[in-house]
């Protein structure tokens, strides 16, 4: 038996444990923040193999230092999965705690500082926050301070919270009431291309009773939430063609077809003025909502007006339907368009190609490949011949309009029933950590590879986000509100000390 | 009297002079090519002040070495104009020779080699041409070889041709039959922002009887041409807005308006399926063609089928109207679109802005500001509120759709009558240089600041292009066919030795 478990055997009741955890993290706040900064200093863009491995090894070692039986699971060509297991003597239930240590690509020149130079601000930059030194030991930390760095929110925050929760519980002498398995993924932002294979190869190792998915942001109302599903994802890269080379816009303007115009027409044809997707059959396969889900939706705090005010918007897609309702539907978005150059860099040319990248978000019932098929059918109905590689002159001379389509890896949506007993226990514990009722949200708008757990492993998943909703997730100047980190520590501590199962000592 | 003029006094008849020029440039071909390479090595992007001045000084010195009274004309904040004057004793007529020494911006990673490292190829890169060493003195040069460099075609080729023509005429002992004034501009690719002011400030100095504009490409049939006008130009940068910051495409997809979609809709609304501009009043102010211009158009060689085959196109804008006819109409083109990122660089965000740069080409009768007004009116009819600076939250909260419009400097079109006596003489001399009939083209599709000469100085302008039509002008891998350079030398020599005016010795 490990030394941690010996400590944990001196169990105390839930509420005092949480109080002790709070006292611990308040006392050690500056030190926890420093640990977090060290973790964020390691670049973690999906696909940056060497740095991804540095992250994985640092996390394995951090778990091991806390008595967790930790190791890296490996697959050829894949980022390592950090796996750790901690047994709770006498426990009959196993919790799985998932987070991911990789982050989205960055455009460094859009950041206030390097994405890998974590910087503490006194508030958000937008609200006039100023950079400040990391606090000294014993200094009082304002929960409104923000730590700016790639993955400060998405998704290293819950990892630091888990490490801190273990430290705090040990310090409090509080016993775990469930076995726990940690799973930190390293390619979630790349669409989790190997997670399915990892889960298949480690089915027994990864058997738990419920997965706690620590990812995603707080509810946009600012209140913390639990979420019971996530949208699926798919996408495609689209290139349309003009002449086989760029042409002088004077000498050919009015004669040569312009791929920017072709692409604009094609993209404009995909959605109506209200944001409805005009692709045939796009909405046909959606699973209807259950009465419980409808009730949960109705009870969610309204956020549309505040969101619009904050974001400088006068309207939203969907013709005024509330935000929460819009997340229950699949959607199509343009992530980017690239053609020629603009502004100072613009040249007097008719570009030879125009490119767009499109993102689909799916709900239960939607098959990613089916929806991509429908989008491709739509492209064809607009007169385009679809190719998978750069078209040569032979093809150009027989096809008037050509679109190259490259599909992007994706996965389906998933939702867990809010009525399962273990789910109800988790809700109760999380509300204790939060100190007030949580928003109970049937689905996250974003995508997580939940389906692998709900379908492949056949286990329920509850998403327990800790990041503030205005964290600039996936964009420049990603940041975490310190108060969110403190909640995360309390939350994980509360889950690790759930009341024992009925009928158990 | 300068030593050059003394030499030129031993006049010989035109035809033998041209033959002597040809013999000279064949004998010195390798040396001329080396001179050209040296000239092209000097970077010349408009606005690169130091290098622009290096170009200007090199050209002033090159003219002076050939006995031309050469100097730089200067204006505060403007690129220098290279001006040179050579008197022909007994002549009563003055020719102006215009070219420009600046070039379009470059995207170096799209080039086969550095744009400023001129490289000789055995054919076009597309046709499998390979780089080869510059030829040794006395080696036979294939006229099909191509010299790749920024401005090899546009527009340093005629400058080298003029220098070589002076050398060849001197070597032949051939006298100039007209005074000649050289004018090499340094900011044509930036829209000639100071040319008007230069011409106003130097009206007497720049008084000539006819301007020969050495710019633009050969006719697309491959035949050399003379051109009697050029389209005008105007443009605008357009930015449309989504939320005030980029948003996660999962958490906000289906709810937040996407500026890429707004921009696509707006751009798609500007032209119909046949490429007709749908902006109200866009075509209303066009001056009708004269009978002479109609006849010239009808006599032009058909090029559409060959062009389409070469460019890999199955159709053209205008519903099948011939290329030459399309150049007689104004047009609107998208030079570029930029929004978010695509392909590997794409991030899962709904971008906060989408930008496009639009280029207008104008014909006689069109006022640039009027046409920009019409485009802005069109933007307004699509529901956008136009701003001139980044919109703040105050504006965002009262205007649902916002477009920032920045107008790009431009100028009107111009056309010279083909029936003027001096114009007919130029046609005859140029056809001698060419050795066969030229294409007589009422207008160039591209834009040149001809209106300043035709309207401000009140003098006719004939455009005498020398560059091959497939020179990748303004784009990557710009190149000049060597045969085009030889034609250019012959052409300028022929113009400098036009028959003397009737009634003169």
CATH code at A397?
3.30.70.360
Q: Which of A411, A431, A463 is the last residue of a domain?
A: A411
Residues on chain B touching A327 (C-beta within 8 angstroms): 251, 254-255
The Cα of B410 is separated from the nearest Cα of chain A by a number of Å equal to 13
Best of A217, A264, A469 to substitute, by most chain B Cβ atoms within 10 angstroms, is: A264
Statement to judge: residues B28 and B158 lie in one domain: yes
Q: Is A349 on the interface with B (CB under 8 A)?
A: yes
Q: Is A267–B261 a contact, with Cβ atoms under 8 angstroms apart?
A: yes
Q: Do the beta carbons of residue A262 and residue B323 sit within 8 Å?
A: no
Domain presence at residue B295: no
Domain presence at residue B310: no
H helix or E strand, kind and range, residue B25: helix B14-27
Q: Do the beta carbons of residue B148 and residue B41 sit within 8 Å?
A: no
> Which chain A residue's Cα is nearest to B408?
A343
The sign one gets for the Cα dihedral A103, A106, A111, A113 is positive
Nearest to B361 among A253, A316, A399 (CB): A253
Q: Do the beta carbons of residue B83 and residue B183 sit within 8 Å?
A: yes
pLDDT of residue B9: 37
Q: How many domains does chain B have?
A: 2
Residues on chain A touching B261 (C-beta within 8 angstroms): 267-268, 271, 334
Statement to judge: residues B194 and B127 lie in one domain: yes
| pLDDT per residue rounded down to tens, chain A (505 residues) | 344 443 443 333 446 789 999 999 999 999 999 999 999 999 999 889 999 999 999 999 999 999 999 999 999 999 999 999 999 999 999 999 999 999 999 999 999 999 999 999 999 999 999 999 999 998 999 999 999 999 999 999 999 999 999 999 999 999 999 999 999 999 999 888 899 999 999 999 999 999 999 998 899 888 999 999 999 999 999 999 999 999 999 999 999 999 999 999 999 999 998 889 999 999 999 999 988 889 889 999 999 999 999 999 999 999 889 999 999 999 999 999 999 999 999 999 999 999 999 999 999 999 999 999 999 999 999 999 999 999 999 999 999 999 999 999 889 999 998 888 899 899 999 999 999 999 999 998 988 888 888 888 889 999 999 999 899 988 899 999 999 999 999 999 999 999 876 544 4
Q: Is A339–B337 a contact, with Cβ atoms under 8 angstroms apart?
A: yes
- The CATH number of the domain holding residue A199 is 3.40.630.10
Statement to judge: residues A432 and A391 lie in one domain: no
Q: Which of A360, A389, A411 is the last residue of a domain?
A: A411
Output phi, psi for B7, to 5 deg. Answer: -60, -45
Residues on chain B touching A476 (C-beta within 8 angstroms): 246
pLDDT digits (tens, 9 = 90+) for B106-119: 999 999 999 999 99
SS3 A90: coil
Which residues 437-496 of chain A have a CB within 8 Å of chain B? 444-447, 472-476
What does the CA dihedral A478, A483, A486, A491 come to, rounded to 10 degrees? -90
Q: Is A221 on the interface with B (CB under 8 A)?
A: no
Q: Do the beta carbons of residue B426 and residue B97 sit within 8 Å?
A: no
Domain presence at residue A302: no
The sign one gets for the Cα dihedral B125, B131, B137, B141 is negative
Which residues 89-108 of chain B have a CB within 8 Å of chain A? 104-105, 107
Domain presence at residue B96: yes
Nearest to B314 among A248, A341, A400 (CB): A400
Statement to judge: residues B27 and B121 lie in one domain: yes
Q: Is B316–A257 a contact, with Cβ atoms under 8 angstroms apart?
A: yes
Domain presence at residue B504: no
Task: Indicate the pairing of strand B461-463 with strand A414-415.
Answer: unpaired
| Cα separations in angstroms, A1 against A6, A90, B132 | 7, 12, 76
Output phi, psi for B470, to 5 deg. Answer: -100, 50
Nearest to B446 among A250, A332, A356 (CB): A250
Q: Is B334–A333 a contact, with Cβ atoms under 8 angstroms apart?
A: no
Residue A317 to residue A324: CA distance in whole angstroms: 12
pLDDT of residue A15: 62
In which domain, by residue range, is A186 found?
A: 3-105+143-228+416-496
Statement to judge: residues A25 and A154 lie in one domain: yes
Statement to judge: residues A238 and A194 lie in one domain: no
Strand order in the sheet with B131-132: B131-132, B119-121, B146-148, B479-481
Statement to judge: residues A346 and A406 lie in one domain: yes
Nearest to B254 among A318, A339, A354 (CB): A318
Statement to judge: residues B370 and B489 lie in one domain: no
Statement to judge: residues B102 and B168 lie in one domain: yes
Q: Do the beta carbons of residue B94 and residue B208 sit within 8 Å?
A: yes
Beta strands in B341-448 (DSSP E): 349-350, 353-362, 385-387, 402-411, 414-415, 439-441, 444-447
Asked if the ipTM is above 0.95, the reply is no
Residue A462 to residue A427: CA distance in whole angstroms: 9
Domain presence at residue A372: yes
Nearest to A261 among B334, B341, B472 (CB): B334
Q: Do the beta carbons of residue B229 and residue B415 sit within 8 Å?
A: yes
The Cα of A192 is separated from the nearest Cα of chain B by a number of Å equal to 14
What does the CA dihedral B185, B189, B192, B195 come to, rounded to 10 degrees? 0
Nearest to B62 by CA among B104, B91, B99: B99
pLDDT digits (tens, 9 = 90+) for A111-162: 999 999 999 999 999 999 999 999 999 899 999 999 999 999 999 999 999 9
The Cα of A219 is separated from the nearest Cα of chain B by a number of Å equal to 10
Nearest to A358 by CA among B340, B257, B354: B340
SS3 B176: coil
SS3 B106: coil
Which pTM was predicted? Answer: 0.77
Statement to judge: residues A361 and A480 lie in one domain: no
Q: Which of A384, A411, A438 is the last residue of a domain?
A: A411
Statement to judge: residues B60 and B158 lie in one domain: yes
Q: Is B337 on the interface with A (CB under 8 A)?
A: yes
Residue A429 to residue B139: CA distance in whole angstroms: 89
Statement to judge: residues A178 and A222 lie in one domain: yes
Q: Is A271–B261 a contact, with Cβ atoms under 8 angstroms apart?
A: yes
Best of A255, A306, A395, A407 to substitute, by most chain B Cβ atoms within 10 angstroms, is: A255
Residue B340 to residue B347: CA distance in whole angstroms: 8
Output phi, psi for B378, to 5 deg. Answer: -60, -45
CA–centroid distance for B211 within its chain: 16
Domain presence at residue B309: no
Best of A244, A250, A297 to substitute, by most chain B Cβ atoms within 10 angstroms, is: A250
Residues on chain A touching B393 (C-beta within 8 angstroms): 312
Q: Is B446–A251 a contact, with Cβ atoms under 8 angstroms apart?
A: yes
Q: Do the beta carbons of residue A56 and residue A72 sit within 8 Å?
A: yes
Domain presence at residue A303: no
């Amino acid at each position: 038996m490990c030394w941690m478990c010996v400590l944990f055997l001196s169990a105390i009741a839930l509420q005092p444990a949480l109080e002790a955890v709070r006292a611990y993290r308040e006392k050690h706040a500056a030190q926890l923040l420093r640990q977090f900064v060290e973790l964020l200093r390691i670049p973690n863009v999906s696909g940056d193999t060497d740095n991804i491995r540095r992250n994985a090894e640092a996390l394995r070692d951090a778990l091991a230092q806390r008595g967790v039986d930790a190791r890296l699971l490996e697959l050829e060509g894949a980022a390592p999965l950090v796996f750790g297991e901690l047994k709770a003597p006498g426990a009959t239930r196993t919790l799985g705690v998932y987070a991911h240590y990789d982050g989205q690509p960055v455009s460094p020149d859009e950041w206030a500082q390097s994405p890998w130079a974590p910087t503490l601000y006194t508030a958000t930059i937008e609200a006039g926050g100023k950079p400040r030194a990391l606090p000294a030991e014993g200094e009082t930390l304002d929960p409104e301070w923000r730590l700016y760095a790639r993955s400060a929110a998405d998704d290293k925050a819950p990892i630091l919270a888990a490490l801190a929760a273990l430290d705090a519980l040990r310090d409090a002498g509080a016993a775990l009431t469930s076995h726990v398995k940690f799973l930190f993924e390293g390619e979630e932002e790349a669409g989790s291309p190997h997670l399915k294979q990892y889960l298949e190869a480690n089915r027994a190792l990864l058997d738990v009773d419920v997965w706690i998915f620590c990812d995603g942001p707080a509810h946009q109302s600012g209140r913390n939430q639990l979420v019971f599903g996530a949208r699926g994802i798919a996408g495609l890269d689209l290139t349309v063609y003009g002449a086989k080379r760029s042409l002088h816009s004077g000498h050919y303007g009015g004669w040569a077809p312009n791929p920017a115009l072709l692409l604009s027409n094609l993209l404009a044809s995909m959605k109506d003025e209200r944001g409805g997707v005009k692709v045939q059959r796009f909405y046909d396969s959606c699973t209807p909502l259950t009465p419980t889900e409808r009730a949960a939706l109705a009870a969610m705090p309204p956020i549309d007006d505040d969101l619009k005010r904050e974001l400088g918007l006068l309207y939203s897609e969907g013709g005024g339907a509330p935000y929460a309702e819009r997340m229950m539907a699949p959607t199509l978005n343009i992530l980017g368009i690239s053609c020629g150059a603009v502004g100072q860099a613009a040249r007097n040319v008719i570009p030879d190609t125009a490119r767009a990248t499109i993102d689909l978000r799916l709900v239960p019932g939607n098959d990613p490949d089916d929806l991509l098929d429908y989008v491709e059918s739509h492209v064809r109905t607009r007169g385009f011949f679809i190719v998978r590689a750069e078209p040569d002159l032979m093809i150009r001379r027989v096809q008037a309009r050509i679109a190259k389509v490259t599909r992007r890896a994706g996965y389906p949506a998933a939702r867990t029933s809010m009525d399962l007993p273990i789910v109800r226990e988790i809700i109760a514990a999380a509300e204790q950590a939060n100190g007030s009722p949580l928003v109970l949200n049937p689905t996250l708008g974003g995508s997580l590879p939940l389906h692998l757990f709900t379908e492949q492993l056949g286990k329920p998943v509850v998403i327990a986000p800790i990041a503030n909703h205005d964290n600039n997730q996936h964009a420049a100047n990603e940041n975490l509100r310190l108060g969110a980190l403190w909640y995360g520590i309390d939350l994980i501590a509360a889950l690790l000390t759930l009341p024992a199962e009925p009928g158990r000592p």
